[in-house]
């Protein structure tokens, strides 16, 4: 049976069920599979025409033992999770303009209009299934830069086994994103607006990490995490790389490039995972905004901390891409000691310096661009003008980065830019980019967003400096009330 180990190497290996329900490993590391399952060329050929759900079943079966989730139950969990999507293909791929080899994959057809829905529905349905079987409950604690929170809140609605606490840095997310969490009216969903987060969502991650380090607290509050710390999220996101590949290449075996708007590196790690499994990816473009942490690693050989800047692509305003530790773990040859020492370097001195051998591994099949705010806005405007396609600011970062690097690839190289959110979540940015004051283009609107515009919002307010104690108090009180 495939086992999961911690990137810090300090806990005994666990099975899929434990890795999913715990979220964080007890030593503060992140769960990863002991070895990455391999997919042969024959498998790739067999999978090339599968529907999203059938492909998901094949890929997930490599990670989830039948004795933990039997095949028929796994299939049911997959269809329940993708059943909330409004597009029959779940994640359709379309050419950006009819003449080029630049495609976009629309990852925003889920219920809260961002790519987080792709894996979150499956993760929360799976947790609910496992918890109900054990007769247990869990409290999910989630920090969001705008899209994870709505996806988790929506997927948790009505679940008897789950309480969902979503924390967001007030003023750092769009009103539309906020309303997706605060208008649900579900008794098991708690939205917490956190004020005075100078480092945005990173401030919340720090508090959450502190709470998960306290094992007594984790037990008492039955805490779990569904941020992309949770293995299930990144594993599920590997599927859309396979799916996009099969829908785009002329023949199986050809290679491809993906451009990925990158914040916490969860989605990009999933791409790396797909490639390590055997998907022929020539290169990943790490599309950063001005908070260019990963771009700086490739440019300077240093993984360094810089003050967070607010940009039009707010969901990727992240200073510490925590899934990078998972990537570094595999690139270093699964060296937990190195991870521990790099994590303490990062904490103590604010950066990690890599040697030449490590940089060779880090750069293998990766390139990067740091897209400016101006280019994010002008790419929205130009793509709309030239291709009548309205991008959201995160998709725009991916497309801008791809446009910058396509001339350096061999002619005919197929490139897929991942579109991670629907533009209806960011009407102010669309207006700014298109320089229009009044009505938005119809593709910039969405019924689900319009519907909640005039509703009351239900939220709890808290100052960042008091967040930990407020959460402990509030969560304990709710638990007591519900028992």
Ligand X SMILES: Cc1ncc(COP(=O)(O)O)c(C=O)c1O
Active site residue 116: yes
**Is 228 one of the binding residues for ligand X (CB under 6 A)?**
yes
Of the residues 102, 394, 414, 446, which one makes contact with ligand X according to CB under 6 A: 394
Nearer to ligand X, 212 or 426 (CB): 426
Nearer to ligand X, 128 or 205 (CB): 205
Nearer to ligand X, 17 or 392 (CB): 392
Select the span of 141-149, 164-172, 365-373, 383-391 touching ligand X (CB under 6 A). Answer: 141-149
Catalytic residue among 75, 80, 99, 116: 116
Nearer to ligand X, 33 or 201 (CB): 201
Select the span of 34-42, 78-86, 262-270, 464-472 touching ligand X (CB under 6 A). Answer: 262-270
Select the span of 15-23, 187-195, 258-266, 409-417 touching ligand X (CB under 6 A). Answer: 258-266
Token pair belonging to 8: 């810090």
**What pairs with residue 33 in β-bridges?**
4
Select the span of 52-60, 73-81, 255-263, 297-305 touching ligand X (CB under 6 A). Answer: 255-263
Of the residues 126, 161, 230, 262, which one makes contact with ligand X according to CB under 6 A: 262
Please list every residue from 300 through 339 that binds ligand X, using CB under 6 A: 315-316
C-alpha to C-alpha distance for 406 and 404, rounded to whole angstroms: 6
**What pairs with residue 23 in β-bridges?**
none
Classify burial at 185, counting beta carbons within 10 Å of its beta carbon; exposed 0-12, middle 13-18, buried 19 or more: exposed
C-alpha to C-alpha distance for 245 and 56, rounded to whole angstroms: 14
Classify burial at 291, counting beta carbons within 10 Å of its beta carbon; exposed 0-12, middle 13-18, buried 19 or more: buried
C-alpha to C-alpha distance for 288 and 264, rounded to whole angstroms: 10
Of the residues 121, 263, 271, 423, which one makes contact with ligand X according to CB under 6 A: 263
> Residues near 14 by Cβ (< 8 Å), separated by ≥ 6?
3, 4, 22, 31
**What pairs with residue 4 in β-bridges?**
14, 33
Select the span of 95-103, 261-269, 301-309, 453-461 touching ligand X (CB under 6 A). Answer: 261-269
Of the residues 33, 149, 266, 444, which one makes contact with ligand X according to CB under 6 A: 266
**Rounded least distance, CB 147 to ligand X, Å:** 3
**Rounded least distance, CB 223 to ligand X, Å:** 21
Query: Are the C-beta atoms of 120 and 225 separated by less than 8 Å?
Result: no
**Rounded least distance, CB 423 to ligand X, Å:** 11
Of the residues 117, 128, 147, 373, which one makes contact with ligand X according to CB under 6 A: 147
**Rounded least distance, CB 265 to ligand X, Å:** 5
Select the span of 6-14, 98-106, 143-151, 431-439 touching ligand X (CB under 6 A). Answer: 143-151
> Residues near 327 by Cβ (< 8 Å), separated by ≥ 6?
265, 268, 269, 272, 362
How many residues of this chain bind ligand X (CB under 6 A)? 19
Nearer to ligand X, 121 or 266 (CB): 266
Nearer to ligand X, 17 or 373 (CB): 373
Nearer to ligand X, 246 or 269 (CB): 269
* Strand duo 189-195 + 460-463: pairing: parallel
Of the residues 267, 332, 368, 379, which one makes contact with ligand X according to CB under 6 A: 267
The sign of the CA dihedral 136, 139, 144, 147 is positive
Of the residues 420, 423, 444, 467, which one makes contact with ligand X according to CB under 6 A: 420
**Is 145 one of the binding residues for ligand X (CB under 6 A)?**
yes
Nearer to ligand X, 131 or 229 (CB): 229
Instruction: State the distance between the two ends of the chain, measured CA to CA, in whole angstroms.
Output: 37
Of the residues 121, 150, 244, 261, which one makes contact with ligand X according to CB under 6 A: 261
- The Cβ of residue 422 has, within 10 Å, a number of other Cβ atoms equal to 25
Nearer to ligand X, 165 or 327 (CB): 327
**Is 264 one of the binding residues for ligand X (CB under 6 A)?**
yes
Please list every residue from 6 through 65 that binds ligand X, using CB under 6 A: none
Looking at the annotation, which residues are catalytic? Answer: 116
- Write out the residues near ligand X by the rule CB under 6 A: 114, 116, 145-147, 228, 261-268, 315-316, 394, 420-421
């Amino acid at each position: 049976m495939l086992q999961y180990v911690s990137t810090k190497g300090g806990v005994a290996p666990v099975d899929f069920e434990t890795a999913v329900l715990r979220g964080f490993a007890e030593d503060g590391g992140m769960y990863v599979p002991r070895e990455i399952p391999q997919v042969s060329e024959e498998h790739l050929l067999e999978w090339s025409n599968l529907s999203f759900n059938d492909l998901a079943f094949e890929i997930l079966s490599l990670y989830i033992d039948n004795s933990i989730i039997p095949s028929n139950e796994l299939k049911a969990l997959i269809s329940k999770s993708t059943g909330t999507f409004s597009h029959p293909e779940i994640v359709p791929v379309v050419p950006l303009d009819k003449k080029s080899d630049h495609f976009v994959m629309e990852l925003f057809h889920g219920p809260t209009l961002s790519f987080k829905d792709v894996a979150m529905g499956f993760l929360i349905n799976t947790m609910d299934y496992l918890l109900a079987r054990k007769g247990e409950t869990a409290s999910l604690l989630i920090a969001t830069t705008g899209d994870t929170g709505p996806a988790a809140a929506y997927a948790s609605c009505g679940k008897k086994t789950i309480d969902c606490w979503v924390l967001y840095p007030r003023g750092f997310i769009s009103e539309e994103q906020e309303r997706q969490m605060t208008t649900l009216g579900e008794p098991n969903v708690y939205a917490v607006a956190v004020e005075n987060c100078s480092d945005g969502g990173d401030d919340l991650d720090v508090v959450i990490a502190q709470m998960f380090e306290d094992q007594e607290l984790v037990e008492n509050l039955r805490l779990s995490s569904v941020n992309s710390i949770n293995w299930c999220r990144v594993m599920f996101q590997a599927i859309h790389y396979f799916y996009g590949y099969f829908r785009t290449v002329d023949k199986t075996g050809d290679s491809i490039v993906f451009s990925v708007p990158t914040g916490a590196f969860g989605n990009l790690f999933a791409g790396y995972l797909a490639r390590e499994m055997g998907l022929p990816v020539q290169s990943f473009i790490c599309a950063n905004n001005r908070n260019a942490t990963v771009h700086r690693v490739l440019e300077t050989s240093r993984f360094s901390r810089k003050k967070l800047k607010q940009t039009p692509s707010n969901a990727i305003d992240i200073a510490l891409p925590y899934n990078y530790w998972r990537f570094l773990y595999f690139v270093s040859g699964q060296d937990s000691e190195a991870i521990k020492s790099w994590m303490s370097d990062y904490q103590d001195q604010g950066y990690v310096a890599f040697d030449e051998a490590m940089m060779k591994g880090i750069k293998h099949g990766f390139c990067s661009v740091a897209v400016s705010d101006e280019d994010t806005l002008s790419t929205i405007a130009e793509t709309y003008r030239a291709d009548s396609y309205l991008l959201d600011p995160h998709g725009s970062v991916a497309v801008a980065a791809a446009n910058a690097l396509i001339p350096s690839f061999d002619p005919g190289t197929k490139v897929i830019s991942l579109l991670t959110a629907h533009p209806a979540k960011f009407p102010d940015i669309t207006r700014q980019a298109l320089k229009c004051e009044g009505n938005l283009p119809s593709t910039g609107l969405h019924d689900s967003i319009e519907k909640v515009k005039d509703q009351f919002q239900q939220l709890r307010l808290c100052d960042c400096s008091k967040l930990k104690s407020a959460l402990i108090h509030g969560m304990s009180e709710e638990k007591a009330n519900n028992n």
